[in-house]
Amino acid sequence: MSTDSLGDGSGVGTIHFDREHKLLYALGKGDSRVLIYSYTEDGKMIQIPHYQYSAPIRAITFLPKQCLSVDNHEVSRCARIAGDSTLEYVSFRMPSRTGTFNAELYPLFDANEPASDYARWSAGEDVPAKTMQL
């Protein structure tokens, strides 16, 4: 377990954890920045450079992994509504030395398809999630 101060903003906080890349995105409605933390193998959270918007966030959601652009080395993408009610897409990218596709940036992730049905689930059967690769 790791703890850290996420600031003293007055807006409603939103947390998004990217399991595949072990990144935590922390932001708040009315704030204009997204704090990004990297979760290390020894259980510590290290803050990495944050993303700063020009206008406060009114609403935000992270898109599924299927929406990522592997050509641009995206690891997350979100859609946000700015203070002036405009919709923006924001890409979070990892640097690439080669500039080509890097399979290490895109590990298997949960597919958008059920691995089980209600009858099996209610009977107590635990089925691992179906995964897919970009």
Residue 123 — pLDDT band, cuts 50, 70, 90? very high
37-41, 58-62, 69-73: range with lowest mean pLDDT: 69-73
pLDDT at 31 over 80: no
d(CA 28, CA 6): 10
pLDDT digits (tens, 9 = 90+) for 83-115: 778 888 888 887 767 767 777 777 788 888 888
d(CA 32, CA 54): 7
| Helix extents (H) in 49-98 | none
3-state secondary structure of 58: strand
Global pTM reads 0.72
**84 or 63: which leads in pLDDT:** 63
Q: Nearest 5°: phi and psi at 129? A: -65, 145
Supply the pLDDT for residue 6: 60
pLDDT at 3 over 70: no
Domain ranges within the chain, ordered by starting residue: 13-102
Supply the pLDDT for residue 2: 60
